[in-house]
């Protein structure tokens, strides 16, 4: 799926500098007018340098100013966003409906901001690795634990490491046959970053799952999987966790398909294992 330029801008907005936000605000607020301006006119309009505009286009869209205008034009389609209903304190079902609508939006954004090639490559890394260590602390620890459990259920060797000291110990024992999957919403958890650095020094592969594609963790990872970041109206941690689990469940579903295609007998083995160990409970 092609990334929608407006979805991409909203997903990256929290990580933009003041100058970058000025450019993004203009595109989001006046996309039709943006299409009519030259770079010099936009520079004068928003009081930012032409170099900043060029850097903005290359950083967030890997293209030049003219190509960015084409992407904006392609993204000018009627909005499918559904406004959330007002929540009354006594209406629990209204809260439930609000969560359904917000979660759907987060799932759609998460789907759009991820690259199909990166997702497929992540699956192949998982299948090729002899050992997988999954790091996640605080709220991201819930997602890390879930991923570990689901990989083990598929017969894939995986370990979940939550203790920050043990993350570094784990990383020091990995080699080129190992894989780290680091989960950090912010991508700035120092203990996770330190452990990933150690793993890379030992030539282990690194996948990360984060909301911030420009974070320190993303920059040192081999491949970056993205979950939609929270906005001011969202449920914050809750919706971030749901987006992480959405990515994880999607990877697991694809892994199951690949494993069954490569080894049809694996389907029966997994089914018997799941039934005998009450995995579905």
Distance from C-alpha of 178 to C-alpha of 109, rounded to nearest angstrom: 31
Run means of pLDDT, 10 residues per run, the chain, 281 residues = 72 87 92 88 90 89 83 67 52 77 84 92 94 92 94 91 92 96 93 95 96 92 91 63 93 90 65 56 50
The pTM (predicted TM-score) of the whole model is 0.71
Half-sphere exposure of 254 (CA within 13 A, CB side): 15
| pLDDT number for residue 102 | 78
Q: Is the Cα torsion angle 238, 239, 240, 245 positive or negative in sign?
A: positive
Distance from C-alpha of 78 to C-alpha of 177, rounded to nearest angstrom: 48
CA distances from 218 to 36, 93, 181, 190, 226 (A): 35, 38, 12, 13, 10
Pair 136, 193: CB distance under 8 Å: no
| pLDDT number for residue 158 | 95
Give the tokens for residue 243: 């987006």
Pair 226, 211: CB distance under 8 Å: yes
Distance from C-alpha of 273 to C-alpha of 84, rounded to nearest angstrom: 42
Pair 213, 226: CB distance under 8 Å: yes
Helix (H) or strand (E) holding 43: helix 39-46
Residue 158 CB neighbours (<10 A): 21
The maximal CA–CA distance of the chain, rounded, in angstroms, is 69
Pair 155, 273: CB distance under 8 Å: yes
| pLDDT number for residue 79 | 47
Distance from C-alpha of 160 to C-alpha of 29, rounded to nearest angstrom: 44
Residue whose entry in the numeric block shows the structure tokens 């993350």: 167
| pLDDT number for residue 147 | 96
| pLDDT number for residue 267 | 55
Long-range contacts of 261-268 (CB under 8 A, 24+ apart): 266/155
CA 83 to chain centre: 24
| pLDDT number for residue 203 | 96
């Amino acid at each position: 799926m092609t990334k929608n330029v407006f979805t991409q801008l909203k997903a990256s907005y929290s990580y933009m500098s003041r100058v970058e936000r000025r450019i993004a605000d203009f595109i989001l607020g006046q996309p039709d007018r943006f299409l009519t301006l030259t770079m010099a006119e936009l520079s004068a309009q928003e009081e930012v340098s032409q170099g900043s505009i060029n850097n903005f286009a290359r950083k967030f869209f890997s293209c030049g100013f003219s190509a960015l205008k084409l992407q904006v034009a392609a993204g000018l389609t009627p909005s499918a966003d559904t406004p959330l209903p007002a929540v009354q304190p006594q209406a629990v079902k209204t809260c439930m409906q609000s969560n359904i609508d917000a979660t759907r939006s987060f799932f759609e954004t998460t789907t759009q901001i991820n690259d199909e090639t990166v997702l497929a490559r992540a699956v192949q890394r998982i299948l090729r690795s002899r050992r997988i260590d999954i790091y996640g602390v605080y709220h991201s620890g819930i997602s890390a634990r879930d991923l570990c459990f689901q990989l083990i259920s598929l017969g894939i060797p995986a370990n979940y490491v939550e203790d920050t000291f043990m993350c570094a110990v784990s990383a020091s024992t990995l080699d080129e046959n190992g894989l780290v999957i680091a989960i950090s919403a912010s991508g700035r958890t120092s203990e996770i970053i330190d452990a990933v650095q150690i793993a890379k020094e030992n030539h282990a592969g690194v996948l990360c799952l984060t909301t911030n594609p420009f974070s320190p963790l993303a920059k040192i990872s081999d491949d970056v999987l993205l979950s939609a970041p929270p906005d001011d109206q969202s449920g914050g941690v809750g919706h971030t966790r749901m987006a992480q689990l959405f990515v994880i469940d999607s990877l697991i579903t694809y892994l199951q398909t690949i494993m069954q295609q490569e080894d049809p007998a694996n389907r029966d083995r997994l089914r018997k294992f799941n039934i005998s160990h009450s995995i579905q409970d």
